[in-house]
């Protein structure tokens, strides 16, 4: 994507310098639009509870970790955090171990039913998936999965699986089949060729789609709130306490929710496009 | 080192026939080139021998082993791919050693064989590099070295030079030929480049529409094309064709001139002659050697190509090319008087498109 | 070369999973919405749902929010995408900054904007600091539905424009730059190139982005709860209320069918409106 200088560069530019200033101004403004709200949340997070409740607010805080400490020690937070990590990890494992083989099959084979499967995957995009939690809540009680990590992870996997399939599909498609064929002619069977040649090459991409699955689960609120009661994940826990908890608790909770997600998105930024580039067609 | 036997191999994709019942034997130590335009089935045939594709029917034998049901790894083959397929996550050394490691060769032997093939391909200085640090030509050498290191019975090459630029291709062509002659490996080599095919092959198998049209030496396919397709495909420019009508007793009427040809009962034949096998008597009106036996050709376009002058003419309203000396004094619009070198004329049946002797 | 069953074996886990946790539950939810406890087909739950005083407000609010947010986001993302494509240096950095909200959940986005719109928040502080107001206004209170709506709108635009941006930038990357050069040679200016090449060629991406966004917009929930509590009812919030506070899974399912119906209707509408003839794609 780096050679895509479509509007600014090109051969001869006749546009004046006012255009350049306008362009830079717009870019800076849009960056501020994204960053300032996050900064303000962090200001609140790193202020003392008193400062969070005070008025008017200051743009630069006196750094104080009292709010964060209060939040981390608040009853149920530790458990919710741990639940979130457990659910997200299971989601990650499930969606990759089911999604990657499917992505490989889609990229390497022609077979009857391939299009049906692709439609099924793409169809998940056209349905409001969190609603799945409603009937599953009933079903789970019957099979004993209610209020469980695994039950919620199943729903989150439904959210993450289509992405895992599409990302791995584009990853495998990006690796020339000749590499695999060369390995076959050099003495590998299919599995050996995959492990020795394909797997090392797709590993970073697989890791990225695993992280992506983790973030999807980490961020999901509705299904988590519907399906868990005692074993709340962090978003569900925060949602439940929204109406009655003090401000500094909300902001600290928000920050704890946001920061890991930001880190993860930073790690997978290279792969954000591969999944949509392929999904457009 | 083994013979390859292909017996009635056919390949069908749905309703389209990619290969029609191919029968061919490649002798031990032979260098066979499969030549044809894209889509003629040459790569499919190669991949069936490799085991990368399954034939719909037929058998493939390597040596005295039937291999068409075996996986590629059990066929004793090695293959060089058009885009090289050098593993990007392995060094050149590990690439060359890949096949040896798969067959559990011990480390000392691996070192020796990698060293030997790398030296053969002149890449002994690159062993620690990754494919991203190599040029196209170097990658090509790695791919060949990797294939040769396993000391295969059969070497299969799929357009290995087509991604190189023209100069490098010529250099690699000569080098590959000498390396392969030395290794004495039975080789099937696929290409669409006739110069490449003619310069390297012991035998050329020309394919068209999923069939092998002719399989002979380079000179033979050039001189005695077995079919209209071969005549129009081999040679640059290819053969000229004119329609000929039966004038009885083995004489044929070509554009109003009688030429001695084969005895045949058919009404028409195709008369064929290579552009360089034509004797020109000079422009008409010059009064020189023009005689009753000569045909006339109206010059349309002249292409001075250095070594010769190529004249595109019209004879009997059909395109007709003549190779002239670079110093010939001709201009567009002239009419040339010419006659064919009698021993170089070939005849084709317009129905079967096959040559008539 | 490979057993015929291999691709199916590889697909099996994902296919089984999607059938079990995607197709089957959707069947179940429809069943819950249309069939009562004694197993008879009934429209009672829909009647109960639509006769509830909050239904109309929730329905209108959801629809209005979607209609206000999505077109605005598409335009903003288009503008951002053209800006990004016009960059020589720093493209990757800017793109990363602009896609940050992609990793932020709707709940967190609601909390982030709560820090701004709250009565003691940064917006009031800033306005007072600049002398526009004398004392903080209640922006998210029971009385101020208009400002709640605006706050939700801002938070949604802030949070979910990134996904549209990613789709559109990816789509623009697929348009060969020769087309632009050709258009430029024929004398097309910046704007003409945008309307005559970028927009038509981007149709499939626009389609994907709009479908995805409109469905997400109908699911709006946590942002609303974080900013407005129950002051501004939306469909998804009503589902939550019926499921938990009123313990009536059937009516909740009826609500789910409503969301599903408008989602499918909008998807079909967008697919029809932005259809590209076969063979006219990049």
Question: Concatenated DSSP letters for A208-225?
Answer: HHHHHHHHHHHH--HHHH
Confidence (pLDDT) at A4: 42
Nearest to A8 among C87, C107, C256 (CB): C87
Structural domain contains residue C69: yes
Structural domain contains residue C165: yes
Cβ-Cβ contacts under 8 Å, B147 against chain A: 185
pTM: 0.83
Convert the pLDDT of each residue in B180-200 to its tens digit: 888 889 999 999 999 999 999
Radius of gyration (C-alpha) of chain C in whole angstroms = 23
Structural domain contains residue C278: no
Cβ-Cβ contacts under 8 Å, B91 against chain A: none
Of B35-44, C111-120, C196-205, C263-272, give the range with the top mean pLDDT.
B35-44
Confidence (pLDDT) at B285: 47
Partner-chain contact B85 A176, CB within 8 Å: yes
Nearest to A134 among C174, C229, C249 (CB): C249
Cβ-Cβ contacts under 8 Å, B99 against chain A: 186-187
Structural domain contains residue C257: yes
Q: Do C84 and C220 belong to one domain?
A: yes
Confidence (pLDDT) at A241: 79
Convert the pLDDT of each residue in B324-335 to its tens digit: 998 888 899 999
Write the DSSP symbol of residue B289: S
pLDDT of B123 above 90: yes
Instruction: Chain A: give the shortest CA distance to residue C89, in Å.
Output: 10
Partner-chain contact C85 A6, CB within 8 Å: yes
The neighbours of chain C, by the rule of 3 or more Cβ pairs under 8 Å, are A, B
Give the C-alpha distances (Å, rounded to integers) separating C143 from C57, C128, C146, C148, C232: 15, 21, 9, 10, 11
C3 touches chain B (CB under 8 A): no
B51 touches chain C (CB under 8 A): yes
Distance from C-alpha of A147 to C-alpha of B260, rounded to nearest angstrom: 98
Nearest CA in chain A to B47: A181
Write the DSSP symbol of residue A12: -
Only one residue has tokens 């004119």, namely B242
Q: Do C30 and C62 belong to one domain?
A: no
The neighbours of chain A, by the rule of 3 or more Cβ pairs under 8 Å, are B, C
Structural domain contains residue C74: yes
Convert the pLDDT of each residue in C145-201 to its tens digit: 888 899 999 999 999 899 899 889 888 888 888 888 888 888 888 888 888 888 888
Radius of gyration (C-alpha) of chain B in whole angstroms = 25
Partner-chain contact A181 B102, CB within 8 Å: no
Instruction: Chain A: give the shortest CA distance to residue B83, in Å.
Output: 8
Q: Do C98 and C30 belong to one domain?
A: no
Cβ-Cβ contacts under 8 Å, A121 against chain C: 14, 18
Contact pairs from chain A to chain B, CB under 8 Å: 60
Question: CB burial class (10 A; 0-12, 13-18, 19+) of residue B103?
Answer: exposed
Cβ-Cβ contacts under 8 Å, C1 against chain B: 51-54, 71
pLDDT of C130 above 60: yes
Q: Do C262 and C187 belong to one domain?
A: yes
Partner-chain contact B103 A184, CB within 8 Å: no
Q: How confident is the model at residue B272 (pLDDT cuts 50, 70, 90)?
A: very high
Confidence (pLDDT) at C1: 54
pLDDT of C137 above 90: no
Give residues with Cβ within 8 angstroms of B65, minimum separation 6. Answer: B76
Which of B249, B332, B246, B239 is CA-nearest to residue B283? B332
Q: How many CB atoms lie within 10 A of CB B147?
A: 26
Convert the pLDDT of each residue in C108-125 to its tens digit: 999 999 888 887 788 888
Structural domain contains residue C280: no
Distance from C-alpha of A240 to C-alpha of C29, rounded to nearest angstrom: 24
Confidence (pLDDT) at B211: 93
B83 touches chain A (CB under 8 A): yes
Nearest to A189 among B73, B78, B98 (CB): B73
> Please, what is the average pLDDT of chain C?
86
Q: Do C187 and C251 belong to one domain?
A: yes
Confidence (pLDDT) at C280: 66
Distance from C-alpha of C29 to C-alpha of C250, rounded to nearest angstrom: 8
Cβ-Cβ contacts under 8 Å, C99 against chain A: 265, 269, 272
Nearest to B50 among A176, A185, A200 (CB): A185
Confidence (pLDDT) at A6: 44
pLDDT, block means (10 residues), chain A with 281 residues: 43 64 89 91 82 73 76 83 94 95 91 85 78 84 88 92 88 90 92 93 90 91 88 89 79 88 81 58 38
Instruction: Chain C: give the shortest CA distance to residue B53, in Å.
Output: 6
Tokens of A19: 């255009």
Instruction: Give the residue ranges of DSSP H helices in A174-281.
Output: 177-185, 190-193, 199-219, 222-227, 234-240, 247-267, 272-279
Cβ-Cβ contacts under 8 Å, C235 against chain A: none
Confidence (pLDDT) at B192: 94
Q: Do C236 and C180 belong to one domain?
A: yes
Distance from C-alpha of B3 to C-alpha of A35, rounded to nearest angstrom: 70
Give residues with Cβ within 8 angstroms of C255, minimum separation 6. Answer: C49, C235, C238, C239, C242
The neighbours of chain B, by the rule of 3 or more Cβ pairs under 8 Å, are A, C
Tokens of A55: 């008025």
Confidence (pLDDT) at C176: 87
Tokens of C275: 């259809």
B53 touches chain C (CB under 8 A): yes
Convert the pLDDT of each residue in B92-114 to its tens digit: 999 999 999 999 999 999 999 99
What is the extent of the structural domain holding C16? 1-42
Instruction: Chain A: give the shortest CA distance to residue C53, in Å.
Output: 22
Confidence (pLDDT) at A5: 43
Give residues with Cβ within 8 angstroms of C71, minimum separation 6. Answer: none
For every residue of B46-102, which 3-state class applies, written as one string? Answer: HHHHHCCCCCCEEEEEECCEECCCCCHHHCCEEEECCCCCCCCCCEHHHHHHHHHHH
Q: Do C162 and C216 belong to one domain?
A: yes
What's the average model confidence in pLDDT over B155-171?
Answer: 90
Number of compact structural domains in chain C: 2
Q: What dihedral angle (degrees, nearest 10) is formed by the CA atoms of B32, B37, B41, B47?
A: 60
What's the average model confidence in pLDDT over C85-107?
Answer: 86
What's the average model confidence in pLDDT over C256-279?
Answer: 85
Distance from C-alpha of A46 to C-alpha of A44, rounded to nearest angstrom: 5
Convert the pLDDT of each residue in B57-82 to its tens digit: 999 999 999 999 999 999 999 999 99
Contact pairs from chain B to chain C, CB under 8 Å: 5
Distance from C-alpha of B179 to C-alpha of C69, rounded to nearest angstrom: 68
Instruction: Chain C: give the shortest CA distance to residue B3, in Å.
Output: 23
Q: Do C21 and C62 belong to one domain?
A: no
Q: How is chain A split into domains, by residue range?
A: 3-68, 70-275
Question: CB burial class (10 A; 0-12, 13-18, 19+) of residue B190?
Answer: buried
Confidence (pLDDT) at A15: 55
Chain C residues 189-228 with CB within 8 Å of chain A: 190, 193, 204-205, 208, 211-212, 215, 218-219, 221-222, 225-226
Contact pairs from chain A to chain C, CB under 8 Å: 312
Structural domain contains residue C91: yes
The string of DSSP letters for B246-274 reads E-STTEEEETTEEEE-----SSEEEEEE-
Give the C-alpha distances (Å, rounded to integers) separating B13 from B37, B55, C98: 19, 10, 48
Chain C residues 158-187 with CB within 8 Å of chain A: 158, 166-167, 169-174, 177, 180-181, 184
pLDDT of C72 above 50: yes
CATH superfamily of A70-275: MetI-like (1.10.3720.10)
């Amino acid at each position: 994507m780096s050679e895509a200088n479509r509007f600014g560069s090109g051969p001869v530019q006749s546009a004046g310098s006012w255009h350049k200033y306008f362009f830079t101004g717009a870019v800076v403004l849009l960056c501020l639009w994204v960053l300032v709200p996050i900064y303000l949340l962090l200001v609140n997070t790193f202020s003392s509870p008193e400062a969070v409740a005070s008025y008017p607010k200051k743009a630069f805080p006196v750094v104080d970790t009292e709010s964060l400490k209060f939040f981390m020690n608040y009853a149920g937070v530790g458990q919710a955090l741990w639940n979130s990590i457990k659910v997200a990890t299971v989601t990650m494992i499930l969606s990759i171990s089911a999604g990657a083989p499917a992505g490989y099959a889609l990229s390497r084979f022609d077979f009857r039913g391939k299009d049906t499967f692709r439609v099924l995957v793409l169809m998940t995009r056209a349905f409001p998936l969190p609603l799945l939690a409603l009937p599953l809540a009933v079903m789970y009680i019957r099979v004993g999965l209610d209020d469980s990590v695994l039950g919620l992870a199943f729903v989150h996997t439904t959210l993450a699986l289509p992405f895992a399939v599409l990302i791995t599909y584009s990853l495998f498609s990006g690796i020339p089949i000749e590499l695999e064929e060369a390995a076959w002619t050099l003495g590998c069977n299919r599995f050996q060729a995959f492990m020795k040649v394909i797997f090392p090459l797709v590993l970073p991409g697989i890791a990225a789609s695993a992280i992506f699955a983790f973030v999807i689960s980490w961020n999901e609120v509705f299904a988590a709130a519907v399906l868990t009661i005692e074993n709340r994940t962090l978003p569900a826990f925060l949602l439940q306490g929204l109406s009655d908890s003090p401000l500094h608790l909300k902001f600290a909770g928000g920050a704890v929710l946001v920061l890991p997600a930001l880190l993860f998105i930073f790690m997978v930024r290279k792969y954000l496009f591969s999944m949509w580039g392929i999904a457009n067609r | 080192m083994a013979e390859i036997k292909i017996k009635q191999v056919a390949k069908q994709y749905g309703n389209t026939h990619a290969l029609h019942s191919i029968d061919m034997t490649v002798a031990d130590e032979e260098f066979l080139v499969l030549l044809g335009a894209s889509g003629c089935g040459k790569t499919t045939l190669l991949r069936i021998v490799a085991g990368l594709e399954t034939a719909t029917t037929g058998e493939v034998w390597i040596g005295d082993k039937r291999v068409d049901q075996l996986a590629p790894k059990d066929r004793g083959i090695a293959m060089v791919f058009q885009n090289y397929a050098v593993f990007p996550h392995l060094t050149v050394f590990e690439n060359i050693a890949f096949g040896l490691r798969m067959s559990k060769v011990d480390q000392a032997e691996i070192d020796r064989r990698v060293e030997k093939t790398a030296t053969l391909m002149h890449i002994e200085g690159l062993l620690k590099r990754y494919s991203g640090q190599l040029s196209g030509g170097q990658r090509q050498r790695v791919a060949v070295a990797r294939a040769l290191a396993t000391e295969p019975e059969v070497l299969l090459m799929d357009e290995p030079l087509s991604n190189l630029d023209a100069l490098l291709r010529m250099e690699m062509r000569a080098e590959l030929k000498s390396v392969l002659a030395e290794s004495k490996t039975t080789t099937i080599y696929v290409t669409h480049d006739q110069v490449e095919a003619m310069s390297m092959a012991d035998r050329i198998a020309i394919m068209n529409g999923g069939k092998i049209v002719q399989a002979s030496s380079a000179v033979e396919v050039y001189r005695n094309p077995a079919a209209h397709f071969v005549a129009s495909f081999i040679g640059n420019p290819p053969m000229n064709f004119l329609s000929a009508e039966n004038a009885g007793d083995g004489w044929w009427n070509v554009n109003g001139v009688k030429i001695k040809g084969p005895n045949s009962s058919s009404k028409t034949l195709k008369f064929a002659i290579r552009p360089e096998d034509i004797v020109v008597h000079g422009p008409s009106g010059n009064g020189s050697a023009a005689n009753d036996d000569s045909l006339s050709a109206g010059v349309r376009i002249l292409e001075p190509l250095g070594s010769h002058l190529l004249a595109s003419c019209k004879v009997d309203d059909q395109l007709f090319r003549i190779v002239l000396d670079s110093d010939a004094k001709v201009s567009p619009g002239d009419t040339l008087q010419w006659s064919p070198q009698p021993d170089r004329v070939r005849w084709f049946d317009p129905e079967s498109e096959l040559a008539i002797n | 070369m490979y057993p015929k069953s291999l691709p199916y074996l590889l697909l099996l886990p994902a296919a089984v999973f999607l059938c079990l946790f995607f197709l089957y539950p959707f069947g179940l939810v429809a069943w819950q919405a249309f069939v009562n406890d004694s197993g008879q087909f009934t429209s009672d739950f829909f009647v109960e749902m639509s006769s509830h005083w909050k239904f109309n407000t929730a329905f209108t609010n959801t629809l209005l929010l979607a209609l206000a947010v999505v077109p605005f986001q598409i335009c903003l993302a288009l503008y951002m995408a053209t800006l990004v494509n016009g960059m020589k240096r720093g493209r990757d950095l800017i793109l990363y900054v602009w896609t940050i909200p992609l990793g932020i959940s709707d709940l967190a986005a609601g909390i982030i904007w709560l820090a701004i719109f709250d009565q003691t928040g940064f917006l009031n502080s800033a306005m007072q600091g600049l002398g526009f107001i004398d004392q903080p206004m209640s922006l998210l209170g029971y009385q101020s539905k208009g400002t709640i709506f605006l706050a939700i709108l801002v938070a949604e635009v802030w949070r979910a424009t990134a996904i549209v941006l990613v789709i559109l930038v990816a789509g623009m990357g697929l348009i060969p730059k020769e087309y632009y050069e050709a258009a430029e040679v024929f004398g097309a200016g910046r704007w003409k190139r945008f309307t005559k090449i970028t927009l038509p060629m981007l149709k499939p991406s626009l389609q994907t982005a709009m479908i995805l966004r409109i469905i997400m917009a109908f699911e709006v929930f946590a942002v609303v709860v974080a900013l407005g509590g129950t002051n501004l009812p939306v469909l998804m919030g009503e589902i939550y209320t019926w499921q938990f506070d009123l313990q009536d899974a059937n009516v909740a399912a009826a609500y789910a069918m409503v969301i599903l119906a408008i989602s499918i209707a909008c998807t079909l509408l967008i697919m029809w409106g932005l259809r590209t003839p076969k063979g006219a794609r990049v």
